Amino acid sequence: MSLFQVQEWWRCELSDVEECGSGSMCVANIDNSPDGIDKVIVGSYNGILHVYAPTKDVGKNPGQDVVLEINLSDPILQVLAGKFVSVSTDLHLAILHPRLLSVYQVTRSVDAGDQGCQYKMSKLYQHKLERSAANMIHGPFGGVKDQDFICVQSLDGALSIFEHESFTFTRFLPGFLLPGPLAYNVHTDSYITASSSYFLESYSYQVLAVASDADSKEDSQSVYTGKKIKADWTFNLGSYAFDVSVVNLQDRGPLIMVLCEHSLLCLESSGELVFMKKFEFAVSCFKCFPSPDGSKVHTILCTHSGQLQIYEQSKLLWAAKSGSLPVHLEIGRFLGTSGIIVMVDEGCRASCGYLGTMPTLFTLPRSMHRETDMARIDHELSSLNEKIQQQQQSNNGEIVSSKKDKEDLKIIFSVPSVLDKKSVAGQHVKINGDDLPSVTGQVILKVNRRITDIQVTTPVAPPLCSTIGSLHIQAVSEFEHSPSIRPSFFLNSYELPSTLEQELIVYYKPPSETPQVLSCFARLPLLLVAQPCGPIKKLEHKVTLESNKPCINLMELFPDFLCADSGPNCIGMQYFYGAKATILTSKSSNRYRIQCEEYVGLWLITDELVHRIHQKDGDVKISNEEQPSLEEYARLIDQHFRLRQMNEDLNMMMEQRARQYRTIQRRLLTRFKDKTPHSLNCLDTLLEGTHTQLLALADAVEEHKENMRRCSSHLSSASRLLVLLTRLWKDLSPEEEEDLASILHLAQTDNFSSSSGWEEIVDSSLTVLLKTTLSRSDGSMPTQPGSGILEIPQDTVKVKKHLAIFMDRLAKGSRLNVGIRRGDHPSKSSRTETNVSNPINRRKDSTTLNSQRVDAELDLYKEISDSSPPLPTDAGIRYPPQKMTQQLMNGDHDVDYETPLDERIRSMDVTDNVNSHFDDDITDILS
């Protein structure tokens, strides 16, 4: 805090809002008047140039101080005053625009009458810049006498030198990233700049002048390369530099002053450190000048708190409070008085002042830490206790929640069971979707108060599609009609979705509260994926369910799938992708049989049957007396894992061919740059063949991703069927069913963007479950902490064995819920000794094993992988041919060659007489 304040001697008044920055002001006798009085020149980013002649009578006639005001249209980055005309030694004004450098002459004419003086500014010459400018400096470059040249630094690190009306050259600074401050040292004829790597660098003018690669002087301004320039010396600043200034002293020569974020440094012309001053505050700008005797450096420093500090070398001499925050400082001579401090803030408001002894009118803010009034606090506490007691007595001692009576938003999401008369699938799918049906639902948003930024999304399970994947509503009020949204759902290909449960998610923002998320579900009709057909008596895959009541008439359960061959005990349907299914009921027992040509097709029909039975009669109990079979499920796991392995192989081949392609390009480039022509040694043929292989691999990767997505959908369907059958088999509670669904990872079987796949995630979950909840011990044994990284396994034997053990533990009476132990569930006593005929669940003995013997128990189930038949090729899953790898290696994709590619190009022909600089770790192109 300063004891004194800066006395304001003059200030300017602006009618419009303008902006400016560092370097936008200069103080000089720009009109070359005989009295030598300085003028204040200020340029703004709005393109307006102001020229002031400060007088002390600013309060009486403010307009008389504005001698010139011109709108130049382009933003003004910097203004300088110097000897910029070759035929004159008068001062002229240089103005830097983003793409233009202009030099003006300011003249004053005295009228014969009483009209006073008139100022005029005329343009002498200008230079168009090829690059966007950052800043500029001037000085007698090259040792010229009584003349000033201009150096402009661009945003891309180029220094352009202009000698009056002519352009000289352009040079690039090495290692450039961002433009920094720039200064000129007359003593060494060099440029001083601060790089973005926090180094202060010095470049000689003579070195820059001879480093040229351009054919002519006119072409050198548009070059983008050149000879490598080396700095004369560098100094590590350690922080970002705001400004650089060179001060010429009479005794010891020039000193380089550098203002950094929290320090002030002084260096010799050779780059040696003289002193450094550290600050505990942030600085904005500074101005350096020699002392009256010329032996020391005086510095005026401005802080972000509006304080001016005057230093002699590194010693603080004076501090005063300023009324504004300057971005640029200068010292001028006005009305015969020297040493006036001229400041300009970021709003282009210029002012002049001097250091006085008037104290600052600063008062301490009122402290928030006052003496505590205990009597007042006791009174407030007693009143609050009375209110709490009264509230409890009125509600019989129960605390009433402060939850709102009404929710902000209520969602009504409904999907009819009737399909659209005219399908919209043909308008959105690429295939011929005229025979694919669609169904249109309705979403109604009812609000109780105004909400904003509503985002409605309908995530669908492929191949299902929605006409509104995401919909944004700006705002909805309770006084407006409730918005109604009608999304349509349809298939985009002849495939099978993993679920018909459609989710709707709504994001919204209540007033003055955090954003909220609501979600709801609706069931899509089965007619969206299947159509009626005649029932078939025997199909390959079957599921049998039992009921505690007589079977319901199937024609009443499925009236939408009736056809000529349908009956009360049989009904048929066919998926749009081709598979047929049939539902049969027993006349003598209460059994339903669902059968389908494909195993994955059982899920949707079984789930729909259970749902419609419960919807028809809520007292019906559906059960599954047999343990769910794992044979077909194990085949889908193997199929999914094999596709993952093929995906890894394709990606590896893609990476190898891309590395080979880059290596051949480098070698060809080396041959083309060589001045002595050499034979290409068939490198162009090798490049063409590699490019063809890359295209073939890219097509194979895209096709393989589609196969992966389709197989993942089938695996998800099979997992959901397993969860449903297990729930009906062991009468699982909703919590246990949810745990089982999370263990089998239903919705994320295609983790293309994740490093962990479905097999390792499910295996990890089953391993932890078998060692804790389903262990033969007390179930409280802690698991060993793992590394947290799930790596792709070598095969699927482990996950299938763990899955078999898990099903066997359930058959023995174990429960998924940690809180329910074995034997606590009343309905499981009669099912504990169920005979298991599935070969997957055979055991050599039924002794009790603890969690530490799980790995030993795995050997008893080795017959899973041994007894499984070869994997079938499912409908719709097309694997890449086994010969594809060899064909791509031989270059036989869409190119007719007589011999394989690697046999046509010999190793010695590729590597002979090639002088190239490659990394040692690059794989050879024939490896």
pLDDT tens digit string along 199-254?
999 999 999 988 865 444 444 555 555 567 889 999 999 899 999 999 998 878 89
**Quick one: pLDDT at residue 853?**
38
190: phi > 0 → left, psi -120 to 50 → alpha, else beta; which? beta
Backbone angles phi, psi at 560, to 5 degrees: -80, -5
Q: Which one has a higher pLDDT value, 758 or 222?
A: 758
Length of the chain: 927
Residue 889 pLDDT > 50, yes or no? no
* Cβ-based neighbour number of residue 914 at 10 Å: 16
Domains of the chain: 4-359 (2.130.10.10), 409-527 (2.60.40.1460), 529-623 (3.30.310.200), 657-820 (no CATH), 892-927 (no CATH)
Residue 892 pLDDT > 60, yes or no? no
E strand or H helix that includes residue 727: helix 683-730
Instruction: Find where tokens 């993942």 sit.
Output: 712
Average pLDDT over residues 73-82: 94
**Quick one: pLDDT at residue 297?**
93
Q: Which one has a higher pLDDT value, 502 or 784?
A: 502
Residue 754 pLDDT > 80, yes or no? no
Residue 838 pLDDT > 80, yes or no? no
Measured CA to CA, the distance from residue 415 to residue 437 in angstroms comes to: 14
Residue 544 pLDDT > 80, yes or no? yes
Backbone angles phi, psi at 616, to 5 degrees: -75, -45
Sign of CA dihedral 393, 397, 403, 404: negative
Express as a percent the part of the chain with pLDDT over 70: 79
Express as a percent the part of the chain with pLDDT over 90: 34
**Quick one: pLDDT at residue 369?**
57
Measured CA to CA, the distance from residue 373 to residue 371 in angstroms comes to: 6
- In contact, 874 and 639? CB cutoff 8 Å: yes
**Quick one: pLDDT at residue 221?**
55
Residue 861 pLDDT > 60, yes or no? no
**Quick one: pLDDT at residue 370?**
60
Q: Are strands 233-236 and 199-204 parallel, antiparallel or unpaired?
A: antiparallel
Closest CA to 690 of 914, 895, 908: 895
- In contact, 27 and 328? CB cutoff 8 Å: no
**Quick one: pLDDT at residue 137?**
95
**Quick one: pLDDT at residue 483?**
83
Residue 792 pLDDT > 50, yes or no? yes
Measured CA to CA, the distance from residue 693 to residue 892 in angstroms comes to: 8
User: With b meaning 16 or more CB within 10 Å and e meaning fewer, what string describes 122-133?
Assistant: eeeeebebebeb
- Lowest mean pLDDT of 2-16, 120-134, 301-315, 460-474, name the range: 2-16
pLDDT tens digit string along 552-561?
999 999 998 9
Residue 880 pLDDT > 60, yes or no? no
Q: Which one has a higher pLDDT value, 822 or 10?
A: 10
- Lowest mean pLDDT of 185-189, 350-354, 673-677, name the range: 673-677
DSSP 634-678: HHHHHHHHHHHHHHHHHHHHHHHHHHHHHHHHHHHHHHHH-SS--
Measured CA to CA, the distance from residue 171 to residue 205 in angstroms comes to: 10
Q: Which one has a higher pLDDT value, 835 or 286?
A: 286
Average pLDDT over residues 42-61: 81
Residue 748 pLDDT level (bands cut at 50, 70, 90): low
Residue 913 pLDDT > 50, yes or no? no
Backbone angles phi, psi at 318, to 5 degrees: -155, 150
Give 654's strand partners.
none
**Quick one: pLDDT at residue 876?**
42
User: How far separated are the first and last CA of the chain, in Å rounded?
Assistant: 73
**Dihedral angle over CA of 277, 278, 284, 289, nearest 10:** 0
Residue 102 pLDDT > 90, yes or no? yes
**Quick one: pLDDT at residue 306?**
85
**Quick one: pLDDT at residue 6?**
87
Measured CA to CA, the distance from residue 747 to residue 723 in angstroms comes to: 13
- In contact, 543 and 725? CB cutoff 8 Å: yes
pLDDT tens digit string along 524-534?
999 999 999 99
- Lowest mean pLDDT of 219-233, 452-466, 609-623, name the range: 219-233
Sign of CA dihedral 204, 210, 213, 217: positive
Q: How many helices (DSSP H) and strands (DSSP E) are in the chain?
A: 14, 44
Q: In the sheet that 442-447 helps form, which strands lie side by side, from edge to edge?
A: 409-414, 442-447, 484-485
Average pLDDT over residues 580-598: 90
Instruction: Find where tokens 């292989």 sit.
Output: 693
**Quick one: pLDDT at residue 785?**
46
Measured CA to CA, the distance from residue 680 to residue 82 in angstroms comes to: 59
Q: Is the peptide bond before 463 cis (omega within 30 degrees of 0)?
A: yes
**Quick one: pLDDT at residue 618?**
84
pLDDT tens digit string along 346-397?
989 999 988 877 776 555 555 555 667 788 888 899 999 888 888 777 655 5
Measured CA to CA, the distance from residue 315 to residue 391 in angstroms comes to: 69
- In contact, 637 and 796? CB cutoff 8 Å: yes
**Mean pLDDT for the chain?**
80
Sign of CA dihedral 369, 374, 375, 377: positive
**Quick one: pLDDT at residue 847?**
31
**Quick one: pLDDT at residue 364?**
53
**Quick one: pLDDT at residue 757?**
82
Average pLDDT over residues 289-307: 90
**Quick one: pLDDT at residue 255?**
93
Residue 16 pLDDT level (bands cut at 50, 70, 90): confident
